[in-house]
Amino acid sequence: MQEINHVAVLDFGSQYTQLIVRRVRELGFFAKLYSPEDIAEIGQPGAVILSGGPKSTSEPDAPDIDFEKLKSFQVPVLGVCYGMQLLNIKFGGSIKASNKREYGPAALKPISKANLYAGISDSSQVWMSHSDTVQDLHADCEVIAENQHGTPVSLKWPGGFYGIQFHPEVTHSHEGLQILKNFLSLASGLQAFHIEDFKREMIEGIREIVGDRQVVCGVSGGVDSTVLAVLLKEAGVKVRAIFVDNGLLRKDEAAEVQKNFKRMNVEIETVDASDRFLDALAGKDDPEEKRKIIGNMFIEVFWDAVGDAEMLAQGTLYPDVIESASNAKSKASVIKTHHNRVAKILELQEQGKVLEPLAELFKDEVRELGTSLGIEQDILNRHPFPGPGLAVRCPGALDRERLDIIRECDAIFIGKLKEHGWYDKVWQAYAGLIPVKTVGVKGDERSYEWATNLRAVISEDAMTAEWVDLPAQLLREASADILNQVAGINRVLYDISTKPPASIEWE
Ligand code: XMP
């Protein structure tokens, strides 16, 4: 599909490229990522941003750009880091290669307070991550900002071309968002990003692709698959939503998911495969082996239930798709979510039978879409729950008794978080089992029982996480209830480990 007057972000491989797309959307405009090789597929953009990248422009295989095509758009262009260096070369300047990397904060001192730097402070912190710097500038090139050492860090060329050495997309560049906003204000007729418009387009697209075929989708009760199922229903297609109970769910979870889907008028088929999963897991204590068993069993059970699918819908999100678009040989190779790309699915994809309507959205946009589809907030704000379920919260071998204990502890802890107004403030929280017996006293008797670990973290993307300083009273109440009510537990611990080095789950 050719997009009209959106912001085209060309990906030269920087780890921050995805953030540029995000920031532009946060500013209210539609942005999409392209590989520089695909410049001919862009259509007519309203503005173009060239991202940073790990290469040096002097390397023989450094990514290039079709400069004539770029100029032919006749729209404002912003080169970030590598993007600026590339533009400088295209405009006849040169780059000084260096093997010393400048990484971290620097001061930005605008020379001209027009255009990119309208309203920007005289000296503001920006984030650098580069080794090469610009050297010779073409006569038509103007330096519009320097760093604290007087080195040029921002350039302007005729025809609406701008360059910045720093990364405006990261929050460490304090006025970065305003600089991006100033750049976008130079463009005219930019397509706004409204989730409502997006929803309308998605629904039309789904109807067109699906026709009267039946679409199967797996649902877990999590945000992405729930929004997907409701979106398909809203589009009026024939949906089969399949929910696999793997026996590793939280207390009453299968019933709750069924109840939630009923509230949304989406019928789901529940496949109770708990015995199959738990039998296969019996006695297995290696974390990787447990994961593998669960992953493979899920595929087996799900496809048994599906039978012959006319079409399959998946809740793949944008971050899964665009990980390294610039290196992509084909669209399929840029997908990183392995479970979304098993052989069976690749085969269906070849036949044009896989639908991924959320693939252009970020997580928070999926929540926004969910709201606009009328899904209630308690469903949209559920904490993420891992595919292997409680198995990653119980180190070592699993059995029904241990799972039941985790379920009880978890239900009490989550209940307390809700009661004290903390559930929506944390990214994820749970109670797990530490299957180590210690001595205690219960009533008048000596006890010899396991411990439970309570964990609550805040995070933006699960890549890093901080433990949450929960009120002592909440922890006190959760601990007392667990110790009083859960047979098999005589010790409650609170996990105060950051990620890294710990992970959020225990396995
Ligand atoms: P870790 O434990 O790696 O978890 O810090 C980061 C986030 O990912 C979730 N998680 C998983 N999700 N399959 C999933 O679908 C998995 O195997 C898996 N392992 C961890 C975890 O709950 C947290 O949100």
Q: Is 492 in the pocket of ligand 1 (CB under 6 A)?
A: no
pLDDT in tens, 335-372: 333 455 667 788 888 998 999 999 888 888 999 999 99
Q: Is 384 in the pocket of ligand 1 (CB under 6 A)?
A: yes
Nearest atom in ligand 1 to 384's CA: 24
Q: Do domains 195-380 and 394-494 have the same CATH topology?
A: no
What is 195-380's CATH number? 3.40.50.620
Is 204 considered catalytic here? no
Residue with CA at minimum distance from ligand 1 atom 20: 386
Q: What angle do CA 154, 156, 159 make, to 5 degrees?
A: 155
Specify the pTM: 0.79
pLDDT score recorded for residue 284: 97
Q: Which of 130, 141, 169, 253 is catalytic?
A: 169
CA distance 402 to 398: 6
For the chain, what is the radius of gyration of the CA atoms? 26
Mention every residue, 6+ apart, whose C-beta is less than 8 A from residue 361: 198, 317, 318, 369
CA distance 309 to 302: 11
Is 167 considered catalytic here? yes
pLDDT score recorded for residue 341: 60
Q: Best mutation site among 224, 504, 506, 507 for ligand 1, i.e. most ligand atoms within 8 A of its Cβ?
A: 504
Give the domain ranges of the chain.
Answer: 7-184, 195-380, 394-494
pLDDT score recorded for residue 133: 85
Span from the CA of 121 to the centroid of ligand 1 (angstroms): 41
**Cα dist from 62 to 11, 55, 121, 128, 326, whole Å:** 13, 6, 35, 20, 12
Residue 422's φ and ψ, nearest 5 degrees, are -105, -15
Is 81 considered catalytic here? yes
Please report the DSSP string for 290-338 in residue order: HHHHHHHHHHHHHHHHH-S-SEEE----HHHH-TTGGG-SSGGGG---G
What is 394-494's CATH number? 3.30.300.10
> What class has domain 7-184?
alpha beta
Q: Which residues of the chain have pLDDT under 50?
A: 1, 323-338
Span from the CA of 441 to the centroid of ligand 1 (angstroms): 35
Residue with CA at minimum distance from ligand 1 atom 11: 386
CA distance 81 to 164: 6
SS3 468: coil
pLDDT score recorded for residue 168: 96
CA distance 79 to 47: 11
Span from the CA of 68 to the centroid of ligand 1 (angstroms): 45
CA distance 21 to 127: 18
